[in-house]
Amino acid sequence: MVVAPAAAPRVPSAEFPMPNAPPIRPLRWLVALLLAAPGAALAAQDTLPAVFPDDARYYDFWPGTWHRVVNGRPDTGSTTFRVRRDVHEAAFVEEWRLRVDSTRMRATAIRAWDKTAGRWMYTWVSDNALYQVWEGRKFGDDWYIVRHFDIAGDRYLSRQAWIPVGPDRLVRVSEKSYDEGRTWELRFREEYARAAP
């Protein structure tokens, strides 16, 4: 005599509801979940007004048009960038016109204070489709942007700073480290002068 296996218990579903049970409507649950998600995301955001500590004022000197100094004089045909304040007093939009040897490039950047992380952040987009996000870190009295690179197997930590050296002068320093920032080697150092308004 062959004994048939016991039937698996029935599980309610939208296709096979249990007798005398209200139908389950998965589509309604999905719609409700999707409608609630934006509200939950907004509720998780900080909507308090910005309060800017002293470090958020580091770039107060920043707005204006800056020209690279070549042979002791501002060179309008060399790298130039324009900076303006944006959505709050510690947020800046930068428009770059770069000259690297004989190559000319354009780029746009956003530099802004992140009140949640308590640091500066930097995002760079260039006309040759580079997209870079840099994290701000303070070294001594100056704020740098820091990012890892891997260029054809050359892996290093890069940092750059724009350090004011007078009311209308700054030094741009770029360095790299092969030991995660214990030691740094200079990539380049450039001086910039702000154009008269």
Domains in the chain, start-ordered, CATH in brackets? Answer: 54-194 (2.40.128)
pLDDT at 86 over 60: yes
Whole-structure pTM value: 0.75
Q: Locate tokens 């958020």: which residue?
A: 56
pLDDT of residue 12: 46
The pLDDT mean for the chain works out to: 85
Lowest mean pLDDT among 33-42, 154-163, 173-182: 33-42
How many Å apart are CA 64 and CA 82, to the nearest integer? 6
What's the pLDDT band for 29 if we cut at 50, 70, 90? very low
pLDDT at 10 > cutoff 60? no
Is 96's pLDDT higher than 80?
yes
Residue 181 is predicted with a pLDDT of 96
Give yes or no for a contact between 84 and 96, defined as CB atoms under 8 angstroms apart. Answer: no
What band does 17 get if pLDDT is binned at 50, 70 and 90? very low
- 162: closest CA among 129, 122, 131, 195? 122
Q: What is the mean pLDDT of residues 79-88?
A: 96
* Listed residue (7, 101, 62) closest to 192, CA to CA: 62
Residue 37 pLDDT greater than 90, yes or no = no
Q: How far apart are CA 193 and CA 155, in angstroms?
A: 32
Contacts of 68 (CB under 8 A, 6+ apart): 74, 75, 78, 79, 80, 190, 191, 192
